[in-house]
């Protein structure tokens, strides 16, 4: 810190002091003098909702490329996605059918559950040996034993189609963004939009363009699940050491070989985190996908919770988790295996075993129906247990929990909310602009102040402030919990395995499953919403911090130790500092995750922008929904850019190289 | 040999198919053999109504497909013809979306399905001890009674848990017009609403909330609806009408029909099905019983629907015959 030039510092401080004092004056006494600074006057509002609504209508009904209507193009894309989906669905769930609907005749049964579990086990054995085979079998057996097989196969079909498209699309976009800096700049806000715009905001246009059904669900899933893959690809390619580039050049790689044979394999670890994220986020969309015709496990969860059957909801939810874990571990192991040197002739025994298994299971299935479909009588159910458990906690601990909740509400949540709501929008816009200017120059200032102004100018200031309060506090809690946990487990293999299973569960278990018991204990409202947001956002904080810490070159840590650093110094001076790019990406993702939960918080009665989006959906008003969705995305972009610029400025001051 | 076996197995099948065809030929003569897509939502009553309709249509020889869809998002699919029939659009909660959709001309209102939606403020029976004047709404004006319904956040006012904002319902207006010392809190979703009721009921704690019927809750929990001044259209529109001469909404919530809504092309593509759908009706008592069977007695929807079909053959064959 001593390296800082003193005069500039005092200058900057003075500037901030003046700005804050001016805002405070406006805040304290401006209400009467300049009421327009508090409530944005209706007459000045930009009718963005109407414009966007009209544009959407035009796109859906009139837009055309030559003789082809835009909706014909999207329907064609839908048909392209639908074809593989039908194939997978008939293989896993419906069987080969002739005809449609209830008059369809089954020509060939689907893969029996015994064969499917067996195939998963074989694949596990092939990719990762006995431990993996056991994990995968346990996951799939769980699904069968709890009677979720049929629904799980429907869900699996859409995931099996969505994930490869998401991974390939994300990878290509990421590579293109790494090659072309202008594309990178253009793509960034688009990715932010894709990840933070609540699905409900663009659900209606998607349904019209892609048709009602599983395909629309796959498209919505892709929009949500692809961005992390793109981000991680770009980040990973940038971090490939210069020596590897040199090596590639020395052996005379063409640009194409350089990308696919050298750089992509060299950045396998972060890329696999990307694949993991695509799988996890796809499964996270299962609930919303089920609302637009995808059916499957998401529908079971919703249906169970409407009956307040927590046990059934939890079982369907955990089946989603089991699928997620099985798919993730398999894909990780396959990738690891693909990069290992191939063993000759090792593949065929597995293929032969798989074919034999399918054939035997099919033949047995003709005689024993229990082999074909899991018998209803052998199904386990934990519903009565969970109902009793929730009741016991409710009756025993409600008063204690209520007191705790009230204490947190009155000392923290309510004051923060009141304070944010009382701020004049003009002052906040000015301060954001100033922060942008100090940290990143005029461009950033124009961006932050401009976006903040747009939120006010479209008449959403109050809801936006509630959103900032809810997501801001939640992000803070998530980081405060997540980063220490990540530091604690990053270099302990067993602890990390357990933590990883835990955060995978948190990320894929539909929040609805634990939200309803939480509502029983804490009533509807901000506190309940915050629990859901923190539980979900903490995943990003942990995952990315661990990724960064594990990527630190062990030689550097040893060098530090040799120089006599204490553990604390190694942590703060070496490990955290070198992991900073990933940690920053983690902060970005924590904010994005928190904002993406607004769809869910709207369902427990908050009054934020997520609720606006939801209301717009119910009133069939895509304009309003998209405007509120954009406001959410703007908040995300402002927060992300300011944090990023602050970190860059900090690194420059510390004399580290810029960039990540 | 295997070939002969295969054929001999096929022959009765073909025969029965032929018989099935000839019996239904009258109804579905020159109609499309494409499946009619019915939407399923996430509450039991709707699953039952839809599957009843589906079974009836199957008996008439139509091919039927069930598609899971969101209550509100489904209108997009109905307009484009991706979906064909929604069996339960509630006057009380779906009116806006339905009207917007009907205005496009691509969707047709196929008439009420016979069920009556009831929505009102509701309290568990044990609350009567603390608030003896109930179910008369004027009892809620008593400060002691309001306090009995209060929580730390709302005290001394009572807490009324309303439905999701999207349901509308004019509860804030009602509280103001009737001068009730209550604060309206909105649950975000149906499930949250009943989770709060379940929680309070287990602890015998105070709760006053929005309940609707047909639903399993009035069957499972013992309680009553608050009796507000009876609803009339003028009460909502004309301030002069009703108890409070200066304000509208000074009465209870409306009763309402539940509508069947379909794709406009349904009429031309499957004329017979169109008639059968229009003829379909069922009443609250039957429905309440079936919902109880499924949600509280643990039967499957399919079994309950099959029982109804067996017991009411005369009724549904009349719908198809028209």
Count of domains observed in chain B: 2
B314 belongs to a structural domain: yes
Smallest Cα–Cα separation from A469: which of A424, A511, A431, A418?
A: A418
pLDDT at A201: 85
- Same domain flag for B160 and B213: yes
Per the DSSP assignment, residues forming a β-bridge with B162 are B186
Tell me the residues of chain A between 137 and 176 that have a Cβ less than 8 Å away from chain B: none
- Same domain flag for B137 and B222: yes
B281 belongs to a structural domain: yes
pLDDT at B322: 54
Q: How far is B241 from chain A (nearest CA, A)?
A: 29
Average pLDDT over residues B139-167: 85
B245 belongs to a structural domain: no
- Same domain flag for B102 and B36: yes
Q: B118-131 as b/e, with b when 16 or more CB fall inside 10 Å? A: bbbbbbbeebeeeb
B12 belongs to a structural domain: no
pLDDT (tens digit, 9 = 90+) per residue, B255-287? 788 999 999 999 999 999 999 999 999 988 889
pLDDT at A446: 94
- Same domain flag for B153 and B181: yes
Average pLDDT over residues A283-302: 83
B79 belongs to a structural domain: yes
Burial tier of B115 (Cβ tally within 10 Å: 0-12, 13-18, 19+): buried
Q: Which helix (H) or strand (E) holds A5?
A: none
Of B210, B237, B264, which residue is a domain's last? B237
- Same domain flag for B303 and B229: no
Q: For helices A310-339 and A511-522, what crossing angle results, to 10°?
A: 140
Tell me the residues of chain B between 31 and 50 that have a Cβ less than 8 Å away from chain A: 33-37, 40, 42-44, 47
pLDDT (tens digit, 9 = 90+) per residue, A643-654? 888 878 777 766
B77 belongs to a structural domain: yes
For residue B185, the domain's CATH number is 3.40.190.100
CB under 8 Å to A363, separation ≥6 — which residues?
none
DSSP 8-state code for residue A292: B
Answer whether A406 sits within 8 Å of B216, measured CB to CB. no
Of B237, B272, B290, which residue is a domain's last? B237
Q: How far is B223 from chain A (nearest CA, A)?
A: 18
Residue that is written with structure tokens 């069987």 in the block: A95
DSSP, collapsed to helix, strand or coil, labels residue A525 as: coil
Measuring CA to CA, how many Å separate A457 from each of A420, A466, A630?
18, 17, 13
- Same domain flag for B124 and B103: no
Mean pLDDT of chain B: 84
Residues in chain B: 322
- Same domain flag for B152 and B261: no
Alpha carbon distance A619, A204 (integer Å): 11
- Same domain flag for B99 and B129: no
Mean pLDDT of chain A: 85
For residue B36, the enclosing domain spans 30-115+256-321
- Same domain flag for B161 and B310: no
User: Do the Cβ atoms of A654 and A4 come closer than 8 Å?
Assistant: no
- Same domain flag for B95 and B157: no
Q: B12 pLDDT exceeds 70?
A: no
Answer whether A605 sits within 8 Å of B54, measured CB to CB. no
User: Do the Cβ atoms of B245 and B164 come closer than 8 Å?
Assistant: no
Of B237, B269, B302, which residue is a domain's last? B237
Per the DSSP assignment, residues forming a β-bridge with B225 are B122
pLDDT at B20: 45
For B82, which of A212, A398, A607 is closest by C-beta distance? A212
Smallest Cα–Cα separation from A283: which of A143, A180, A485?
A: A143
B195 belongs to a structural domain: yes
- Same domain flag for B110 and B130: no
Phi-psi region of A613 (alpha: psi -120 to 50; beta: other; left: phi over 0): alpha
Tell me the residues of chain B between 158 and 217 that have a Cβ less than 8 Å away from chain A: 161, 164-166, 185-192, 194-196, 198-199, 202-203, 205, 216
User: What one-character-per-residue DSSP string does A479-495 give?
Assistant: HHHHHHHHHHHTT-HHH
For residue B102, the domain's CATH number is 3.40.190.10
pLDDT (tens digit, 9 = 90+) per residue, A1-42? 344 444 455 677 788 888 888 888 877 777 777 777 777 777
Answer whether B195 sits within 8 Å of A395, measured CB to CB. no
How many other C-beta atoms can be found within 10 angstroms of the C-beta atom of residue A475? 25
pTM value surpassing 0.95 = no
CB under 8 Å to B42, separation ≥6 — which residues?
A299, A302, A303, A306
Alpha carbon distance B120, B158 (integer Å): 17
Alpha carbon distance A597, A536 (integer Å): 8
pLDDT at A302: 84
Q: Which residues of A touch B58 (CB under 8 A)?
A: 102
- Same domain flag for B125 and B222: yes
Tell me the residues of chain A between 493 and 532 that have a Cβ less than 8 Å away from chain B: 512, 515-517, 519-521, 523-525
User: Do the Cβ atoms of A325 and A504 come closer than 8 Å?
Assistant: yes
Average pLDDT over residues A342-355: 68
pLDDT (tens digit, 9 = 90+) per residue, A199-232? 888 887 888 788 887 888 899 999 989 998 999 9
Which of A57-61, A381-385, A500-504 is the most confident on average? A500-504
């Amino acid at each position: 810190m001593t390296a800082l030039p003193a005069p500039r510092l005092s200058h900057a401080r003075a500037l901030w002091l003046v700005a804050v004092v001016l805002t405070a004056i406006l805040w304290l006494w401006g209400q009467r003098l300049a009421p327009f600074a508090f409530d944005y006057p209706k007459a000045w509002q930009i009718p963005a909702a109407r414009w966007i609504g009209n544009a959407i209508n035009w796109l859906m009904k009139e837009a055309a490329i030559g003789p082809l209507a835009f909706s014909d193009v999207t329907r064609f894309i839908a048909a392209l996605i639908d074809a593989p989906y039908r194939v997978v669905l008939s293989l896993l769930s419906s069987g080969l059918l002739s005809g449609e609907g209830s008059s369809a005749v089954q020509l060939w049964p689907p893969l029996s559950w015994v064969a499917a579990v067996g195939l998963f086990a074989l694949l596990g054995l092939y990719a990762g040996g006995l431990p993996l085979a056991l994990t995968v079998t346990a996951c799939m057996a769980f699904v069968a034993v709890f009677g979720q097989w049929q629904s799980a196969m429907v869900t699996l079909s859409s995931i099996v189609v969505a994930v490869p498209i998401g991974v390939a699309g994300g990878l290509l976009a990421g590579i293109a963004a790494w090659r072309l800096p202008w594309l990178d700049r253009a793509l960034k806000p688009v990715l932010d939009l894709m990840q933070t715009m609540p699905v409900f905001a663009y659900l209606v246009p998607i349904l019209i363009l892609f048709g009602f059904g599983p395909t629309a669900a796959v498209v919505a899933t892709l929009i949500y699940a692809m961005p992390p893959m793109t981000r991680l690809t770009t980040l990973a390619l940038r971090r490939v050491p210069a020596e590897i580039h040199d090596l590639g050049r020395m052996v005379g790689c063409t640009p194409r070989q350089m990308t696919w044979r050298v750089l992509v394999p060299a950045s396998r670890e972060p890329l696999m985190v990307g694949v993991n994220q695509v799988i996890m986020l796809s499964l996270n969309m299962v609930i919303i996908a089920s609302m637009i015709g995808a059916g499957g496990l998401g529908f079971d969860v919703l249906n169970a919770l409407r009956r307040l059957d927590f046990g059934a909801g939890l079982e369907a939810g955990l089946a989603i988790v089991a699928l997620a874990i099985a798919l993730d571990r398999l894909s990780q192991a396959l990738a690891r295996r693909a990069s290992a040197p191939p063993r000759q002739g090792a593949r065929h025994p597995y293929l032969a075993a798989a074919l034999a298994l399918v054939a035997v299971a099919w033949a047995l299935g003709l005689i024993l129906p229990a082999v074909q479909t899991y018998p209803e009588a052998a199904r386990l159910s934990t519903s009565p247990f969970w109902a009793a458990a929730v009741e016991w906690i409710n009756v025993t601990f409600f008063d204690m929990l209520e007191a705790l909740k009230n204490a947190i509400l009155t000392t923290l949540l309510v004051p923060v909310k009141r304070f944010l709501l009382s701020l004049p929008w003009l002052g906040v816009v000015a301060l954001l602009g100033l922060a942008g200017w100090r940290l990143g120059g005029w461009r950033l200032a124009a961006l932050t102040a401009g976006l903040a102004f747009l939120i006010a100018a479209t008449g959403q200031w109050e809801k936006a402030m509630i959103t900032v309060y809810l997501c801001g506090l939640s992000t803070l809690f998530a980081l405060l919990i997540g980063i220490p946990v990540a530091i604690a487990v990053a270099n302990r293999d067993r602890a990390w395995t357990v933590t990883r299973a835990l955060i995978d569960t948190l990320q894929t278990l539909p929040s609805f499953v634990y939200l309803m018991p939480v509502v029983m204990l804490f009533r509807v409202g901000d506190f309940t919403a915050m629990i859901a947001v923190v539980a979900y956002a903490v995943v990003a904080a942990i995952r990315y911090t661990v990724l960064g810490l594990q990527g630190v070159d062990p030689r550097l840590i040893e060098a530090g130790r040799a120089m006599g650093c204490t553990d604390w110094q190694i942590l703060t001076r070496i490990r955290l500092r070198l992991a900073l790019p990933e940690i920053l990406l983690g902060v970005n993702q924590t904010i994005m995750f928190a904002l993406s939960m607004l769809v869910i918080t709207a369902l427990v009665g908050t009054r934020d922008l997520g609720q606006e989006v939801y209301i717009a959906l119910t009133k069939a008003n895509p304009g309003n929904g998209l405007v509120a969705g954009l406001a959410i995305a703007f908040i995300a972009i402002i927060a992300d850019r300011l944090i990023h610029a602050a970190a860059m400025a900090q690194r420059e001051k510390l004399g580290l190289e810029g960039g990540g | 040999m295997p070939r002969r076996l295969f054929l001999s197995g096929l022959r009765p099948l073909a025969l029965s198919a032929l018989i099935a065809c000839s019996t239904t030929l009258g109804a579905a003569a020159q109609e499309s053999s494409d499946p009619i897509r019915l939407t399923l939502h996430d509450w039991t009553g709707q699953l039952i109504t839809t599957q009843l309709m589906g079974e009836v249509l199957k008996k008439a020889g139509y091919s039927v497909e069930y598609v899971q869809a969101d209550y509100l998002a489904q209108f997009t699919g109905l307009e484009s013809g991706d979906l064909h029939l929604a069996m339960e659009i509630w006057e009380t909660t779906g009116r806006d979306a339905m009207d917007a959709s009907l205005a496009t001309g691509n969707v047709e209102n196929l008439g009420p399905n016979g069920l009556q939606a009831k929505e009102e403020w509701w309290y568990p029976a044990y609350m009567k001890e603390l608030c003896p004047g109930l179910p008369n709404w004027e009892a809620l004006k008593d400060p002691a009674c309001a306090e009995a319904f209060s929580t730390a956040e709302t005290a001394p006012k009572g807490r009324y848990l309303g439905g999701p904002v999207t349901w509308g319902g004019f509860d804030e207006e009602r509280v103001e017009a009737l001068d009730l010392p209550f604060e309206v809190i909105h649950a975000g979703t149906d499930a949250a609403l009943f989770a709060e009721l379940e929680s309070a009921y287990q602890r015998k704690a105070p709760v006053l909330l929005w309940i609707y019927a047909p639903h399993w809750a009035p069957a499972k929990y013992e309680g009553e609806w608050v009796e507000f001044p009876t609803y009339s259209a003028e009460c909502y529109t004309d301030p002069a009408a009703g108890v409070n001469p200066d304000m509208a909404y000074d009465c209870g919530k409306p009763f309402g029909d539940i509508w069947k809504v379909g794709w406009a092309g349904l009429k031309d593509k499957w004329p017979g099905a169109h008639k059968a759908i229009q003829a379909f009706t069922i009443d609250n008592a039957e429905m309440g019983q079936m919902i109880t069977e499924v949600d509280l007695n643990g039967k499957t929807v399919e079994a309950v629907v099959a029982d109804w079909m067996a017991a009411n053959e005369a009724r549904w064959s009349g719908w198809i015959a028209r």
